[in-house]
Amino acid sequence: MLFDHELTPRQIVEELDKYIIGQEDAKKAVAIALRNRSRRQKLPLEMRDEVAPKNILMIGPTGVGKTEIARRLARLANAPFLKVEASKYTEVGYVGRDVESMIRDLADLSVNMLRSNYSESVKEKAGLIVEERLLDILVPPLTKRTRAKKQEIAKTTEGSALKAQAGEDILARTREKFRKNLRQRKLEDKIISIEVQNRAFPMVEIFSPISFEEMDINFKEMFGGLLPKKTKERKVTVSEAREIMMEEESEKLVDIDKVVFEALEKVENSGIVFLDEIDKIVGSDSKTGPDISREGVQRDILPIVEGSTVATKYGMVRTDHILFIAAGAFHSSKPSDLIPELQGRFPIRVELKSLGKDDFAKILVEPQNALIKQYTLLLGTEGIKLNFTDSAIDEIASLACLVNEQNENIGVRRLHTIMERLLNDVSFRASELSGKEIKIDPEYVREQLADIVENRDLSKYIL
């Protein structure tokens, strides 16, 4: 089952509303795109491959929610999600990463995500195996050789058979006692010796313009097959040993071939790539020569978005049905400046609006991860109770809006800066203020921020 959620577009928007204020057009666009993937899976097989995803281009200033919308969408779909900056890629032959690396990274993410899910599903079984391994260290069982030797002695010595049986009964009772203590976590700090696999492998110096992670050779697996596996003894607590053993046993219980197969299928059918700063690779007005790392990058990205096959260390990945969401501010350029072929691969275009005072006020209190909730909980761990008045929230929103107008407009990120500055003194003296209630009213806000806001040159550097 590729899609864990059968949410309607309206339900998807409602879920996004819990974390993102405004931007209804963008939310509707991504909700429809996600629902269309679910619809596509229900089509006959011969038609399923013909339905291509409708990629989305988000246009809007920084800090208005473009990345957050894409990230939350991926969580809703339980899909592999990768955010990359288009400007980090350059044409082949020049410094930078090749565009196919985004698909390799997406495959890595998907495999790790599936491996983690499967490890969780075998956790109980792995726990029982780990328990036996810990008991074998704490109360070593009789070896076959020792047991056979005792049986041989018992045959020739009168009464030894009873003694041997009594000894085995004592050993069994001792193991059960230790098992009970292990389950009740009474031995967590006890130091034991365990054998762990030495994961180090020879360092290889590669003289190549391609970065190490870009090479389609899994050196770890290659050297693991050529060299004998070495172990080393480590002295650790029972608690640490349990974690190490759980990882080892979970890895043994998980069928990695099945994980890889499902992970690649998930990438191909539900993967999401968020291409940020796509406006930065718009070619310049210069016509005197090739525009390195701009139009060339667009032409390199084009086949990936159109649909191609990329080689990864896990196998071949088709990009035909990966959803691409591109975003850019387009301050000094416009979407029509992209090469025509790339424009055509992003048929859905939505404009995100700049945030105003009312938006900032809502962002401070309404989302499930609202900034005021975050700071209230953080300082609450020190025994401080923060009490924000409604008028103080309006004042913070007004100041954020004012600073954005006077300086560079960085959207909601301005609120992070202002909130940190506002509560700087309280955070610093938290241990001294434990047990007190701090009232944040407009006077307090102005006292902490007014001088900086009024001094435009100072606010440019501090806020």
Considering the domain boundaries, does residue 167 fall inside one? yes
Same domain, 163 and 224: yes
Q: Which domain holds residue 83?
A: 9-118+259-351
Query: How far is residue 377's CA from residue 119's CA, in Å, rounded to a whole number?
Result: 32
CA distance 73 to 26: 11
Written as six digits, the tokens of 253 are 């219980």
Domain termination site, one of 299, 319, 351: 351
CATH number of the domain that residue 58 is part of: 3.40.50.300
12: left (phi over 0), alpha (psi -120 to 50) or beta: alpha
State the pLDDT at residue 22: 86
351, 379, 399 - which closes a domain: 351
Evaluate whether residue 3 is within a structural domain.
Answer: no
Condensed to tens digits (0 to 9), the pLDDT of residues 177-228 reads: 888 888 888 888 888 888 877 655 454 444 444 444 444 445 555 555 555 5
- Reported as half-sphere exposure (CB side, CA atoms, 13 A), residue 205 has a value of 0
Question: Can you tell me the distance from the alpha carbon of 450 to that of 456, in angstroms, rounded to the nearest whole number?
Answer: 11
- CATH number where 375 lies: 1.10.8.60
4 in a structural domain: no
Two structure tokens written together for 215:
């090479």
Q: What is the pLDDT of residue 457?
A: 64
Instruction: Mark whether 266 and 381 lie in a shared domain.
Output: no
What pLDDT, in 10s, does the model give residues 41-81? 889 988 888 888 889 999 988 888 888 998 898 888 888 99
pLDDT digits (tens, 9 = 90+) for 307-331: 999 999 999 999 999 999 999 988 8
* Structural domain ending residue among the three candidates 311, 328, 351: 351
The reply to whether 277 and 243 lie within a common domain is no
The pTM score is 0.77
Res 153: pLDDT:
54
The answer to whether residue 461 sits within a structural domain is no
Identify whether residues 246 and 168 lie together within a single domain: yes
- Taking phi over 0 as left and psi of -120 to 50 as alpha, with beta for the rest, 42 belongs to alpha
Judgement on whether residues 204 and 279 belong to the same structural domain of the protein: no
442 and 375 housed in the same domain: yes
Same domain (yes/no): 79, 165? no
Let me know whether 263 and 114 are in one domain: yes
187 and 142 together in one domain? yes
User: According to the model, what pLDDT value does residue 375 have?
Assistant: 92
**Alpha helices (runs of H) in 254-288, residue ranges in sequence order:** 256-270
pLDDT at 321: 92
For residues 222 and 237, membership in a common domain is answered with: yes
Q: Are residues 161 and 240 in the same domain?
A: yes
pLDDT attached to residue 216: 44
Residue 286 confidence (pLDDT): 47
SS (H, E, C) 284-313: CCCCCCCCCCCHHHHHHHHHHHHCCEEEEC
Task: Name the domain count of the chain.
Answer: 3
> What is the predicted pLDDT for the residue at 405?
83
Q: For the chain, which ranges sit under pLDDT 70?
A: 1-5, 90-97, 142-167, 198-229, 283-294, 454-463
Q: Flag whether 52 is in a domain.
A: yes
Query: Residues 284, 373: one domain?
Result: no
